[in-house]
Amino acid sequence: MRLRAHPIIALAAGLGLAACATTPSTDTTDTTRRAAFASTYQPAASVPTLIRGATVFDGEGAELANADVLMQDGRISAVGNNLAAPEGAAIIDGAGRFVTPGIIDAHSHLGAYPSPSINATSDGNEATQPNTAEVWVEHSVWPQDPGFLRAVAGGITTLHILPGSANLFGGRGVTLRPVLDAVTVQEMKFPDAPQTLKMACGENPSRVYGGRNSSPATGMGNVAGYRQAWANAQRYARRLEAADNGDGEPPDRDLELETLAGVLNGDIRLQWHCYRADEMANAIEISHEFGFEIAAFHHAVESYKIADMLREEGICSAMWADWWGFKIEAYDGIRENIPFVHEAGACAIVHSDSEVGIQRLNQEAAKAMADGNRAGLDITRAEAWTWLSRNPARALGIEDETGTLAAGRRADVVVWSADPLSSYAVAERVYMDGALIYERGAEIDPPSDFELGQAYTERAQ
Amino acid sequence: MKLLSALLMALAVATPAAAETVLINDGRVVTNGAAGIIENGDVLIVDGRISAVGANIAAPRGARVVEARGAFVTPGAFAAMSELGLSEISGSGAPNDADVDGDLVAAAMDSAAAFNPTVTAVAVTRIEGVTRAAIAPSSTNSMFGGRGALVSLDGQPDSVMRANAFMIVELGETGAARVGGSRAAMWPAFEAALRDAREYPTRYRSGQGGAVLNEIDAQALQPFARGQGMFLVHVESAADIRRIIRYQRANPSLRFVIHGGAEAWQVADELAAARIPVIVDPLVNLPSSFERLSARLDNAALLNAAGVTVAIAPAPGSVDAHQARLALQLAGNAVAHGLPWDAAFAAISRTPAEIFGVGGQLGRLERNFLADVVIWDGDPLQVTSAPTAVFIEGVEQPLVSRQTRLRDRYRPTANR
């Protein structure tokens, strides 16, 4: 992320450093309150594993022919040619196969909108007031959602769950590991992943609240709502800061302002649902006015119109390959949005926002790559893979841990039956932290309590 | 009888003025017919129809020759269920004929009357190789979703091929919800509606009225209730499918096609025996409702292997007005999960044409078939492929849409 010369950013950068400590903190200014709901994730047991002789996309944009990938102690140990297998290592024949980093979906509602989808399980949108920055979507996530297994079978090893988009401020998002036998959401939380804040531009907030004859009812109402909330948060953050410096009492805890202060001080990364170029530009103005960073625009159907601005600002765009037309703010969707953003040197991400789409994000990237190349670009399949792993890791603040096959990263690895930028490829093996968590064709116990003991006679895929 | 003749009539589309004589040379010709796939095959188009298919066809005098150079040449895709042309924008309170929530008119809803060939989605879809579509709106308050239509995607004013092509019926959870919340009420309501329709107009003129249907719905339903049209029934669970099979056995004049059928694989043999086609979505694999608990990715493959007629389209609930083009991706995913390629391509071209009663003129590259022909830059079921040429009834369509115009305006290389 590019650092901007801005007084409040400079302050935030300092606070951000303090908040990078991984130990639980009780500092007043620790707006993420790390001690609460801490991750209890434990990697599954793994053995050293060597995948030999595969075509490898390293997640950084390089394609390696006939390469080996070695995983040890849950981390990528080496990627190269003719690697030696450690004693007792599992050896996987990669001939004809493709190996990639695990896919990271930057925009999912699994667990919060789980299967089965009935009124009682619709848990993803606290659509009761325009600002619900106080809610945490992790408190809506049902670990038994059968969608987690389907996502893993599509090569997903990390997913970012967001609350819905009815509100200007929807609440905090959470980055999860798809732990298939998790009973609590804490077991799924990606260790030390920053929390996020979901905001929403455009039609959704103004439709929901305008429909109730309350503000916001318009685009200008949306922006006024954002700005007043950030102004309130600035005052709250100043009072926290002052109290930490021995100057007066800290303010009463306010969960809503705590989230916003967390964005101001850099602890919480902002994920902003915003379709239109002009609205994204307004959002960027607001970020300058109040001195916070936007990690990514989500849906970002018109990012192609402002790709240079997004590159300059260091803001990622999480996009669909071809969704369009389902509302007026999605009307200018084009198939080349992702490749045009990529071509401009901005950070392009393929996201799903769908329990169906999350199962084949590789195909969505393939479509975007092919459309870009037909439009005259020259995007390789390994470059396209950065949209699925490195770039979402960057937007979520976990790029030092996952998203590429660099030595030392968590061993989040997928072995594909064929070129994964094809309709016909399937994930054969999925590793998370070096542990084999999914193998196609293998008998899998029903992973969720919900599916256990249902009447069907053969296991549905 | 006016309605009946309208129902039975395959509305002939006038021969387009721009139809030319075209020889497509040396393609990998997917005929979808007895000839199978012809390598180095040629397709001759004359007056909007296929004139000849085979190897080494000589170009008639004045013919335009298109060199396919080994590329796939296929019939146009047929969107087996969509809301295409019924909506410019689905949400945002925009004018949208794809969603109905009134209850004045249900079975009588006429998709053909709402179809607009100029909405941007028609061109967006056409340039992806889809040349025909079955359309109907969704979300009614009744178990009857109205009369579907078959349309051409050539964007012309006369592009409704056939109105009254099928009757949409909800007979699963959704249908039950619309008659008070229980299948126990739904089935008697369905049967009563069919009786009302068969007894139209007598009981209505007598002043007795219908048991469950108003007069206009009874009138629209009548031909279908008499077996002169097809019921496109949305059901998902094996239990509901078995009930349809039993019902059809007891009422052999009625014709049912199942749309949805997430659990159809469990009753594949019975469906094959009953000759009931199924339109499936190969991506449905989540227990997203209690009627889809055993949804699985190889549903289409299992049904096909059992001899069931299988077409591919988005599942009820995901049918929309903008993404009918994804039929090709859906078919590719069916291949990834066991459906043979030929069956998968047929499931989005020939089979829908046959199910909807136009299989004699669409869905194959054979002599006298309408010349809906697409040339591709790769395997059409691969997500990375796209058409290089699209012909509808022999007229080559410009590969231009509002989306390509936006693309060209913002193309990065254009600024350098």
Long-range contacts, stretch A369-372, CB < 8 angstroms, 24+ apart: A369/A339, A369/A421, A369/B384, A370/B383, A370/B384, A370/B385, A370/B386, A371/A321, A371/A335, A371/A336, A371/A339, A371/B386, A372/A336, A372/A338, A372/A339, A372/A340, A372/A342, A372/A343
Q: Which helix (H) or strand (E) holds B280?
A: strand B278-280
Q: Is the pLDDT of residue A373 over 60?
A: yes
Query: HSE on the CB side for B86, CA within 13 Å?
Result: 31
Contacts of B368 (CB under 8 A, 6+ apart): B49, B50, B361
Contacts of B333 (CB under 8 A, 6+ apart): A360, A363, A423, B282, B283, B297
Residue (of B80, B79, B82) closest to B137 by Cα position: B82
Task: Using CA coordinates, name the residue in chain B closest to A376.
Answer: B413
- Any idea what the Cα angle at residue B65 is, between residues B64 and B67, rounded to 5°? 150
Q: Mutate which of B384, B405, B411 to test chain A, going by most A C-beta atoms within 10 A?
A: B384
Q: Tell me the CA end-to-end span of chain B in Å, nearest whole number.
A: 65
**Mean pLDDT lowest for which of A24-33, A45-54, A383-392, B396-405?**
A24-33
Contact at 8 Å (CB) between A196 and A270?
yes
Distance from the B370 Cα atom to the nearest Cα atom in chain A, whole angstroms? 29
Can you give the pLDDT at residue B19?
Answer: 78
Contact at 8 Å (CB) between B71 and B379?
no
Distance from the A293 Cα atom to the nearest Cα atom in chain B, whole angstroms? 26
**Mean pLDDT lowest for which of A107-121, A164-178, A322-336, B7-21?**
B7-21
CB-CB neighbors (< 8 A) of B94 in chain A: 327-328
* Backbone region of residue A353 per phi and psi (left: phi > 0; alpha: psi in -120 to 50; beta: other values): left
A198 in contact with B, Cβ within 8 Å: no
Q: Is the pLDDT of residue A22 over 50?
A: no
A340 in contact with B, Cβ within 8 Å: yes
Choose among A323, A356, A426: nearest Cβ to B283: A356
Gap between the Cα atoms of A257 and A254, Å rounded:
5
- Kindly give the pairing relationship between strand A196-200 and strand B37-46: unpaired
Q: A116 and B266: CB-CB below 8 Å? A: no
Contact at 8 Å (CB) between A341 and A383?
no
Gap between the Cα atoms of A229 and A223, Å rounded:
10
CB pairs under 8 A between A and B: 145
Confidence of residue A26 (pLDDT cuts 50, 70, 90): low
Gap between the Cα atoms of A253 and A111, Å rounded:
28
Tokens representing A313 are: 């600002």
**Mean pLDDT lowest for which of A25-29, A345-349, A394-398?**
A25-29
Q: Which helix (H) or strand (E) holds A277?
A: helix A277-290
Gap between the Cα atoms of B284 and B299, Å rounded:
9
Gap between the Cα atoms of B160 and A340, Å rounded:
37
ipTM of the complex: 0.94
Q: A326 and B386: CB-CB below 8 Å? A: no
Instruction: Report the mean per-residue pLDDT for chain A.
Output: 92
pLDDT in tens, A227-278: 999 999 999 999 999 999 999 999 999 999 999 999 999 999 999 999 999 9
Gap between the Cα atoms of A277 and B279, Å rounded:
39
Q: Which amino acid is at B209?
A: G
Contact at 8 Å (CB) between B26 and B72?
no
Q: A460 and B333: CB-CB below 8 Å? A: no
pLDDT in tens, B273-320: 999 999 999 999 999 999 999 999 999 999 999 999 999 999 999 999
Can you give the pLDDT at residue A459?
Answer: 52
Q: B91 and A203: CB-CB below 8 Å? A: yes
Can you give the pLDDT at residue A457?
Answer: 52
Tokens representing A224 are: 């006024």
Can you give the pLDDT at residue A455?
Answer: 76
Q: Is the pLDDT of residue A109 over 60?
A: yes
CB-CB neighbors (< 8 A) of B127 in chain A: none
Distance from the B251 Cα atom to the nearest Cα atom in chain A, whole angstroms? 29
Q: Exposed, middle or buried: residue B242 (CB in 10 Å: 0-12, 13-18, 19+)?
A: middle
Other CB atoms within 10 Å distance of the CB of residue B92: 16
Name the pTM for this structure.
Answer: 0.93
Q: Is the pLDDT of residue A447 over 70?
A: yes
Tokens representing B26 are: 């040396």
pLDDT in tens, B221-261: 999 999 999 999 999 999 999 999 999 999 999 999 999 99
Q: In angstroms, what CA-CA distances link A311 with A42, A74, A142, A417, B412? A: 36, 34, 36, 35, 14
Contact at 8 Å (CB) between B293 and B287?
yes
Looking up tokens 């069919």 gives B194
Other CB atoms within 10 Å distance of the CB of residue A207: 17
Q: Which amino acid is at B114?
A: A
Phi, psi of A348 (to 5 degrees): -105, 135
Tokens representing A351 are: 């996201």
Q: In angstroms, what CA-CA distances link A452 with A153, A438, A448, A457, B27? A: 18, 18, 7, 11, 51
Confidence of residue A21 (pLDDT cuts 50, 70, 90): very low
Contacts of B106 (CB under 8 A, 6+ apart): B140, B141, B142, B143, B144, B145, B146, B217
Phi, psi of B221 (to 5 degrees): -80, -20
Residue (of A455, A434, A437) closest to A447 by Cα position: A437
What's the whole-number mean pLDDT along residues A177-204? 97
Gap between the Cα atoms of B105 and B128, Å rounded:
34
Bridge partners of residue B133, in order along the sequence: B79, B151
Choose among A355, A371, A460: nearest Cβ to B295: A460
Task: Using CA coordinates, name the residue in chain B closest to A331.
Answer: B89
Q: Is the pLDDT of residue A408 over 80?
A: yes
Contact at 8 Å (CB) between A115 and B288?
yes
Residue (of B2, B348, B7) closest to B166 by Cα position: B7
Tokens representing B376 are: 């591709």
Strands (E), A231-346: 269-274, 294-299, 316-319
Can you give the pLDDT at residue A31?
Answer: 74
Percent residues over pLDDT 70 in chain A: 92
Gap between the Cα atoms of A151 and B278, Å rounded:
27
Contacts of B148 (CB under 8 A, 6+ apart): B111, B134, B135, B136, B165, B166, B167, B168, B232
Query: HSE on the CB side for B122, CA within 13 Å?
Result: 24
pLDDT along chain B (416 residues), means of 10: 39 54 98 97 98 96 97 98 94 79 87 96 98 90 95 97 97 95 96 97 94 96 97 98 98 97 97 98 96 95 98 96 97 98 98 98 98 98 98 97 98 65
CB-CB neighbors (< 8 A) of B89 in chain A: 325-328, 331
Contact at 8 Å (CB) between B272 and B307?
yes
Can you give the pLDDT at residue B5?
Answer: 42
